[in-house]
């Protein structure tokens, strides 16, 4: 028959009544009886071969059997071979009967902990901690367990967990400064001088932004998310396995992030005031709006997203498109005023970001501007119409054989007004006028409509209706000079006369007999011109009233 200890002995170690009835003697009662020892406790903090964070305060934690008391000891070195060695330092002694004040007692959850504060902080080095637990249950006989944490894999005859103390900070890591400025904020930085097992953190303006990848004493780090635009101070620190942090890398790297700015462009065409009948403005797409830096032109109006670099001067301008070929009428347009640029919110950009006087756009790396920036240029042409006048008659649209050719000063832009096209768009500015009349008509002069008088300017689309006081004589030269005003509708009137209308002048030489020819048509002499002027005046005064259409 088997008996439990409680069957034979009470809590005070005395034989029970059952044992007495069985007439067992003490010698017989203990024959072959084995007392089971508690399982060894387990130290979980610190972990074996870990670094102790604070040499002045150490916390040792672990697990055990609820209600048992813990004996905790430590020593310098990497293992304990004899737990009873008097050279060990005892932090707590729980190897006795009953729980006593100051004991480390395993709680109901099986956990226990002890904080140790040495009189002087521990020196740098390795320290090993080991423990046993003593059974304090009613029938545990106060048995004590084997030693905790056997180092079976590395040292079968050693016990305990080893923690290391290191209070010496590592040297500052080296950092190779990235190229500055950077068009993007996701630059990669790197460096070296990293201790084995250390971690490296990168700081921007003194704030940690991430941990670098470390390999064989070197480190690399890519900014993700990218840095914002502007100036940034970059440093790095390394933290060794014991938690000691180095000083920041030196010198501090300065990185300017100058992210490109999205810019678009548009070409506008402003209509002519009082336009000629049948003349329409061409599409602004005949031109390309450009941003030029150095020898590079960026087309802003092509529909593609264009990004310009910061801290760089760009000249905002225009050019005729090449594919497809522009409308030939585009040669007769000129820009009005200066370019304008607005931000994404529609606010006009001012200097120093955009100088309208020079057309230079420059975005510094720290300019905060809503995107996209939009730059526009405006073009406008001028309209010119032709009417004719024969002496003694009224102003009429040009007939066959009557025409005028307009030319710019360099002769690179020309236009002809005649019976098939009495109105044209023409490049604003100074121009020369060449008139051609039928061979039987003599050239008497050219007049322009007075655009300075509103009542006259309003008749530009129907110049035949303009009264004589609206016309101004152009100086009589073989190449008449006129000013074609931008955005306005100019009108020209050719005056001619048949030979039968001219007075008979003696051709006896001298100034009164001077004649000249224009465009192959006979022209009257200077004296004749003076006569014509008087004759025209007399005819105007004596002619019947023809209303507003009178020349």
Sequence-ordered list of residues with C-beta below 8 angstroms from that of 127, at least 6 positions apart, any chain: 52, 74, 75, 76, 77, 162, 163, 164, 165
How does strand 429-436 pair with strand 516-518?
Answer: unpaired
- Confidence at residue 132, expressed as pLDDT on a 0 to 100 scale: 97
Query: Which of 324, 181, 375 is closest to 260 using CA atoms?
Result: 181
Residue 330: strand, helix, or coil: helix
Q: E strand or H helix at 114, and its extent? A: strand 111-116
Question: Tokens representing 337?
Answer: 């005023």
Helix runs in 329-461, H state only: 454-457
Query: Which of 219, 216, 280 is closest to 246 using CA atoms?
Result: 219
CATH architecture of structural domain 174-257:
Sandwich (2.60)
- What is the arithmetic mean of pLDDT over 394-421? 94
d(CA 297, CA 72): 80
Query: Which of 479, 478, 325 is closest to 414 using CA atoms?
Result: 479
Could you tell me which CATH number the domain at 382-549 has? 2.60.40.10
Instruction: Count CB neighbours of 147 within 10 A.
Output: 21
- Confidence at residue 551, expressed as pLDDT on a 0 to 100 scale: 37
Contact call for residues 290 and 318 (beta carbons, < 8 A): yes
In order, the DSSP letters of 24-37 are --HHHHTTT--PPP
Contact call for residues 525 and 437 (beta carbons, < 8 A): no
d(CA 5, CA 436): 143
In the chain, CATH 2.60.40.10 covers 42-165, 174-257, 382-549
d(CA 80, CA 76): 9
What digits encode the pLDDT tens for the residues 408-443? 988 899 999 999 999 999 999 999 999 999 999 999
Instruction: Count CB neighbours of 325 within 10 A.
Output: 10
Query: Which of 39, 35, 40 is closest to 13 using CA atoms?
Result: 35
What digits encode the pLDDT tens for the residues 74-87? 999 998 999 999 99
The angle subtended at Cα 243 by Cα 240 and Cα 248, nearest 5°, is 65
Q: Match 């100088």 to its residue by tokens.
A: 355
Query: Which of 428, 433, 318 is closest to 382 using CA atoms?
Result: 428
What digits encode the pLDDT tens for the residues 475-526? 755 456 899 999 999 999 999 998 766 555 443 333 222 223 333 333 333 3
Contact call for residues 118 and 76 (beta carbons, < 8 A): no
Name the CATH topology of 42-165: Immunoglobulin-like (2.60.40)
How does strand 373-380 pair with strand 403-408?
Answer: unpaired
Q: How far, CA to CA in Å, does 2 sit from each of 32, 33, 37, 405?
A: 11, 10, 20, 137
> Is the link from the previous residue into 181 a cis peptide, with omega within 30 of 0?
yes
pLDDT at 31 over 60: no
What digits encode the pLDDT tens for the residues 356-389? 999 999 998 878 899 999 999 999 999 999 999 9
Residue 107: strand, helix, or coil: coil
| Reduced 3-state DSSP string for 139-155 | CCCCCECCCCCECCCCC
- Confidence at residue 155, expressed as pLDDT on a 0 to 100 scale: 66
In order, the DSSP letters of 499-546 are GGGSPP---SSSGGG--EEETTEEE--HHHHHHHHHHHHHHHHHSPP-
Sequence-ordered list of residues with C-beta below 8 angstroms from that of 352, at least 6 positions apart, any chain: 362, 364
CA torsion through residues 242, 245, 249, 254, sign: positive
- What is the arithmetic mean of pLDDT over 66-75? 97
Could you say which DSSP state residue 286 is in? G
What digits encode the pLDDT tens for the residues 213-270? 999 999 999 999 999 888 899 999 999 988 999 999 999 999 988 889 999 999 999 9
Q: How far, CA to CA in Å, does 124 sit from each of 72, 75, 89, 328, 414?
A: 21, 13, 17, 89, 95
Q: Match 């498109």 to its residue by tokens.
A: 321
């Amino acid at each position: 028959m088997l008996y439990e200890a409680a069957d034979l002995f009470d809590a005070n170690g005395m034989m029970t009544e059952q044992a007495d009835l069985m007439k067992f003697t003490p010698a017989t009662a203990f024959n072959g009886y084995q007392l089971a020892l508690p399982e060894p406790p387990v130290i979980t903090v610190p972990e074996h071969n870990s670094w102790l964070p604070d040499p002045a305060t150490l916390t040792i934690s672990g697990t055990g059997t609820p209600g048992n008391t813990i004996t905790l000891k430590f020593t310098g070195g990497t293992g304990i071979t004899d737990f009873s060695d008097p050279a060990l330092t005892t932090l707590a002694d729980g190897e006795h009967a009953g729980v006593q004040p100051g004991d480390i007692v395993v709680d109901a959850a099986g956990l226990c902990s002890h904080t140790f504060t040495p009189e002087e902080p521990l020196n740098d080095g390795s320290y090993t901690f080991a423990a046993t637990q003593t059974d304090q249950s009613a029938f545990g006989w106060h048995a004590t367990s084997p030693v905790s944490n056997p180092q079976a894999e590395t040292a079968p005859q050693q016990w305990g967990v080893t923690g290391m103390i290191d209070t010496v900070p590592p040297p500052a890591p080296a950092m190779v400064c990235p190229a500055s400025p950077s068009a993007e904020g996701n630059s990669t930085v790197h460096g070296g001088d990293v201790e084995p097992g250390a971690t490296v953190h990168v700081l921007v303006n003194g704030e940690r932004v991430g941990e670098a990848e470390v390999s064989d004493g070197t480190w690399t780090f890519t900014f993700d998310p990218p840095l914002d635009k502007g100036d940034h101070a970059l440093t790095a620190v390394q933290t060794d396995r014991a938690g000691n942090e180095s000083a920041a890398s030196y010198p501090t790297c300065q990185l300017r992030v100058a992210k490109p700015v999205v810019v678009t462009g548009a070409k506008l065409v402003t209509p002519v005031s009082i336009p000629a009948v049948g003349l329409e403005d061409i599409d602004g797409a005949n031109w390309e709006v450009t941003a030029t830096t150095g020898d590079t032109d960026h087309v802003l109006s092509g529909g593609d997203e264009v990004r310009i670099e910061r801290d760089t001067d760009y000249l905002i301008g225009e050019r005729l498109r090449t594919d497809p070929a522009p409308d030939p009428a585009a040669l007769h347009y000129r820009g009005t005023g200066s370019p304008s640029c607005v931000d994404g919110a529609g606010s006009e950009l001012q200097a120093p970001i955009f100088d309208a006087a020079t057309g230079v756009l420059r975005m510094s790396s720290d300019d905060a501007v809503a995107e996209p920036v939009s730059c526009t240029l405006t073009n406008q042409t001028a309209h010119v119409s032709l009417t004719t006048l024969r002496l003694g008659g009224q102003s009429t649209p040009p007939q066959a054989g009557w025409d005028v050719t307009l030319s710019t000063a360099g002769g690179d832009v020309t236009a002809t007004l005649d019976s098939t096209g009495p109105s044209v768009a023409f490049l604003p500015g100074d121009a020369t006028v060449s008139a051609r009349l039928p061979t039987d008509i003599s050239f008497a002069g050219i007049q322009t409509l007075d655009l300075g008088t509103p009542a006259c300017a309003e008749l530009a689309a129907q110049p035949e209706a303009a009264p004589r006081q609206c016309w101004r004589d152009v100086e009589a030269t073989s190449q008449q000079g006129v000013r074609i005003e931008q955005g306005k509708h100019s009108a020209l009137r050719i005056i001619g006369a048949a030979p039968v209308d001219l007075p008979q002048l003696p051709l006896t030489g001298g100034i009164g007999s001077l004649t000249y020819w224009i465009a192959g048509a006979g022209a009257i002499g200077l004296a004749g011109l003076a006569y014509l002027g008087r004759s025209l005046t007399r005819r105007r005064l004596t002619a019947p009233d023809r209303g507003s259409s009178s020349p």
